[in-house]
Amino acid sequence: MNQRLLFLLGAGFGLLLPGCVVYMPMQCAAPQITDKKQGELTLSTYLNGRAELAGTYSPVRHLLVRAAISNLRDNSNPKDTTYYRGHQYDLGVGTYWLLGHRWLVGGLGGFGQARSNAAFNRSGIIFPSTHYEYDARYNKVFGEVYGTFQASEAVSFGAAYRVTQVNFTSLTDLHGPVDLSSMTRSEPMIYFRVRLGDGPTEDRPVQLQAAWGSSTTFGYVENDSYITYPAGVRDLKQGRGYTTIGITLFPHCLFRKAQLPGAGR
């Protein structure tokens, strides 16, 4: 029943994923770690086929270290005029705190790098279609806060908010420079999680997650026709949405079950 609900929620929010250009936001971390020596490994997929792998660990109480990579493979024909591809990574450190038995709050900060490409045609009503071919390399710095509510032993949900500063080291359209050196993105996310199995939460090593988020540029107004942007900049500053489905493994839960009295008898 829980798995079916998770699938329906993911499918129902599929429309939140429009086509992206060259900035591809990574989902917020919001780890489910509550104590030292705990870790999690999460594999997620975006509805456009992008994959993300992230690992988080707490070496001492209240301290988090995290690494994540994301990749969108190009499966298009070399002669295609429409494609999206990119790869990136994040590295971060953070903290977490339990508030009572049900609330988990925390925050992270970090940096990353990315390389992405996008090509597409935009049709005009009167004029012929215009072809765009973006190529970008950028560095990023981010900060994130999150809060998770443990509704039961199996179900939890929450929200996270990330601010990402994007600094382009190279940005071109059809091999010509685009006049945009940086932008700051506002990136909220909500998520719903289900721990599989029976018994207490800490005895369940596998978790499913569905998440829905967006990314918009601070100071950019989509419908403001009074502001003129350099060629290509409006495409890059537009808001993006995403939906992800993921599975998380908690190795410490497996070790805990193996160490319980009577385990393996």
pLDDT tens-digit map of 116-138: 999 888 776 666 778 889 999 99
Looking at per-residue pLDDT, the higher value among 54 and 21 belongs to: 54
- Give pLDDT, residue 39: 97
- Give pLDDT, residue 19: 42
Dist. CA 17–CA 168, nearest whole Å? 24
Q: What does each C-alpha distance from 228 to 172, 174, 234 come to in angstroms? A: 19, 21, 9
- Give pLDDT, residue 131: 86
Residue 178, both tokens = 């685009």
Backbone phi and psi for residue 200, each to the nearest 5 degrees, phi listed first: -60, 160
In the chain, the N- to C-terminal Cα span, in Å, equals 31
17 pLDDT exceeds 50? Answer: no
Q: Contact at 8 Å (CB) between 72 and 87?
A: yes
Dist. CA 216–CA 240, nearest whole Å? 7
Dist. CA 208–CA 3, nearest whole Å? 8
Dist. CA 173–CA 177, nearest whole Å? 6
State the pTM of this model: 0.86
Dist. CA 13–CA 136, nearest whole Å? 29
Residue 151, both tokens = 């509704």
Percent of the chain with pLDDT over 90: 66
Tell me which residue of 237, 233, 113, 215 sits closest to 173, measured CA to CA: 233
Looking at per-residue pLDDT, the higher value among 171 and 21 belongs to: 171
Q: Mean pLDDT over all residues of the chain?
A: 87
Dist. CA 145–CA 48, nearest whole Å? 26
Looking at per-residue pLDDT, the higher value among 39 and 125 belongs to: 39
Q: Contact at 8 Å (CB) between 111 and 47?
A: no
Q: For residue 137, what are the β-bridge partners?
A: 115, 170
Domains, the chain, in order of start with CATH, read: 2-259 (2.40.128)
Dist. CA 212–CA 244, nearest whole Å? 7
Q: For residue 193, what are the β-bridge partners?
A: 156, 209
- Give pLDDT, residue 83: 87
- Give pLDDT, residue 2: 52
DSSP secondary structure, the chain, as one string: -HHHHHHHHHHHTGGG-----S--PPPP------STT-EEEEEEEETTS-EEEEEEE-SSTT-EEEEEEEEE---S-TT-S-EEEEEEEEEEEEEEEEETTTEEEEEEEEEEEEEEEEEEEE--SSSPPEEEEEEEEEEEEEEEEEEEEE-SSSEEEEEEEEEEEEEEEEEEETTEE-S--EEEEEEEEEEEEEE-SSS-GGG--EEEEEEEEEEEETT--TT-TTPPPPTTHHHHHS-EEEEEEEEEE-HHHHHHHHHSTTTT-
224 pLDDT exceeds 80? Answer: no
